[in-house]
Structure 1
Amino acid sequence: MKFLCLPGAYGSAQNFEVQFGPLAEEFKRRGLGSFAYSQGTHEVAPPPGWEDYFGKPPLYRFLDVSNGDAFETLRRLRHVPRGLNPEDTMRQLQGATVEEDWHQEAWRQALDGVFKTLDEDPEINAIIGYSEGAMVAASAIVEEKERCLREKGRERRIKFGIFIAGAPPLKFEGNKRITAQLFDEVGTVIDIPTLHIFGCDDAFLSSAVALFNVCDPRSAVMYDHGLGHIVPRDAENVSLLGTVLGNLVPKVEEQIKREMHFTRKDRREVKREGKLSKRAEAAQGHALSQGHGQGMGQGLGQPGQGFGGGGPGGVMRPGMHQRGYSHLSTTSAQGGNTSSDPTSGSITPAEVDFTVAMLRRTDA
């Protein structure tokens, strides 16, 4: 596979290539893919006191927030009541003080930049994003799906997404105000296989889980590296993530082959009839069930069962949940049940703490 890599805010293609370097080298060593790096178009200066933190200038953002405050969201987070689920936390963070500079034209430019890169490199078929780049990547996946419905003959390019310390995709409301797409409002909006990498000490953990919640639960996999809002670079996490991706990529590639076979074989029937034939519908259903469903309900499972099977340590396999963490029904060492209402679709901070402790245990 070939991944398009998008950096976080105050990043650049050059700096992200260094930041992501240990993981990229591990993935290359295992023959899992190659990488192309991009960046935003809005040049920015780092916040005062952080001049040496983000790497060598020039630095960029995908969104034009030149009049904004780099730490405003973090300050607002301190005032969000504890115990909220990820979706309610995101609504609190958006609030009335959402950055007004995130206007429609700037956001369209950010997405158009991603699609321009895809058009220029036909080998790219997957995407990786960190922080703001993950939000852009998630939004691009949703936008590409919508464009393919609007534009005759356009085919989807992005088949797999990796989100590091991510955030849910954005959308425009009628007044052109940008809001996050949240599961309890829109349901599942990302229907391709995804890997979600985050740390339990991330101040924006709710944001990463909110992104996970809008992805297809049959093919969305979590990995907790136990740290903060970073790209993991330590040897242990790099090796474990190599194993996780080594389990995922072959399944994604097999799904791509099935989809390509279906597209070539049935395009003429779709064109002639204006809809799928019974045989085409059956072929498509088989491809989707094989690609997403096989082994997904196997719980911890064995290596090779479904998209989430077989990964060691920090991996949350799809069979352990239905949506977010909320469907875990486990008992803590103190004897108390830590699961929330199974209809709530979200997780509380107390569940995060307990679940993280579970994830850190090995399969042994």
Structure 2
Amino acid sequence: MKFLCLPGAYGSAKNFQVQLGPLAEELERRGLCTFTYSQGTHEVDPPQGWEDYFGARPLYRFLDTRQGDTFETLRRLRHVPHSMPAEDTMRMFQKAGEGEDWHQRVWREALDAVFKTLDEDPEIDGIIGYSEGAMVGASLIVEEAERAKKSGCQRRIKFAMFISGAPPLKFEGKDRIVAQLFDEAGIVIDIPTFHIFGCDDAFLSSAVALFNVCEPSKATMYDHGLGHIVPRDAENVGVLGEILQEIMPKVEEGNRRAASEQQQRKESGLSGMDKSEFATPALLRTTS
């Protein structure tokens, strides 16, 4: 399996390769996957007071925020109690974009740029997204499924790892983009997913909201016990390697079975959607 790796806001392909390095090396050592790194197309300056936090410049975002920060309100999530339901928390902070049509254009451009990266490398069949990159990746998975229904083309992304993620976005009306939330949209991501986050994450609600819209029988979560980070310590990396050693061969087998069934349907002249019967039991593992 080959993963397209999408960094968070104020990141870069180079910096994300360093952040993900210990886990990527562990997975490569186990022979599970390979990686390719991308980044947003919009060069940005880090927020005031955080000039040294995000690593070496240049830094990028997937979103063009020159006309304002579409998701500035997400930063206020850190002040919301974790006891509030994730969906209610997200609704409190998704008014950004109301009445301003440029937000939809910004989001369309961001998604199209990632689809272009996907089209340029036919070996990619998985996504690893961190923070903003996870939100973009989740949205791409949803849109890819919608395109497949309309065109009959084969879906590329078979597995996704989301690190401190956020729910996928959708267009609403003529001038809004809103989060897809479970109590409104139900399950919107049907492929196997692995969710990595920390109980001390200031943006925990957004990661939980993403988990909730993924097919539960195919979704696995891991709490590394830390904050809004990509875990790099030896203990967490080792445990993650063990979990993925269990999950990924099942994903690959499910993909092979689905491809075989699809081929059999074609040969027999039957039509139908390509649906894998693979199901990963959800599990929650934490470190102390």
Partner residue, 1:201: 200
Do 2:70 and 2:97's aligned partners in 1 also have CA atoms closer than 8 Å? no
* Structure 2 equivalent of residue 114 of structure 1: 114
| Counterpart position of 2:95 | 95
Of structures 1 and 2, the one with the larger relative CO (CA 8 A, separation 6+) is 2
2:101 and 2:176 in contact (8 A); partners too? no
For the 8 Å contact 1:144–1:156, the answer to whether it is kept is yes
For residues 142-199 of structure 1, give each alpha carbon's deviation from its aligned partner in whole angstroms, at most 9, with x where no partner exists: 00000111124x1000000000000000001113301000000010000000000000
Counterpart amino acid of residue 15 in structure 2: N
Aligned to 1:77: 77
Is 1:262 paired with 2:261?
yes
Report the identity percentage: 66
Query: Displacement, 1:11?
Result: 0.6
The structure with the greater share of residues assigned to strand is 2
2:2 aligned residue: 2
Retained in 1: the 8 A contact 2:73–2:96?
A: no
CA–CA distance in structure 2, aligned partners of residues 63 and 12 of structure 1: 13
Is residue 47–residue 70 contact of structure 1 (8 Å, CA) maintained in 2?
A: no
Work out the number of aligned pairs and report it: 288
Cα deviation, 1:56-80, whole Å, max 9, x if unaligned, reads 1111101111243599435533664
Distance 1:98 1:192, change over 3 A: same
Cα deviation digits, residues 202-226 of structure 1 (max 9, x gap): 0110100000000000010000000
Please tell me whether the aligned partners of residues 99 and 176 of structure 2 are also in contact (alpha carbons under 8 angstroms).
no
CA distance in 2 between partners of 1:50 and 1:99 (Å) = 30
TM-score, with structure 1 as normaliser:
0.74
Unaligned 5+ runs, structure 1: 293-305, 309-314, 318-358
Code of the aligned partner of 2:211: F
Q: 2:82 touches 2:204 (CA, 8 Å); kept in 1?
A: no
Look up the SS of the partner of 1:252 in the other structure.
helix
Q: Is structure 2 residue 51 aligned with structure 1 residue 51?
A: yes
Q: Which runs of structure 2 are paired with 1:244-259 in the superposition (5 Å)?
A: 244-259=243-258
Larger radius of gyration: 1
When residues 101 and 48 of structure 1 are mapped into structure 2, their CA distance, relative to the original with a 3 A threshold, is: farther
Aligned amino acid, residue 134 of structure 2: A
Query: In the alignment, which residue of structure 2 is the partner of 1:170?
Result: 169
- RMSD of the TM alignment (CA)? 2.4
Query: Residue in 1 aligned with 2:37?
Result: 37
Aligned partner of 1:123 in structure 2 is 123
Give the whole-Å Cα distance in 2 for the aligned partners of 1:20 and 1:246: 17
2: distance between equivalents of 1:237 and 1:360?
7
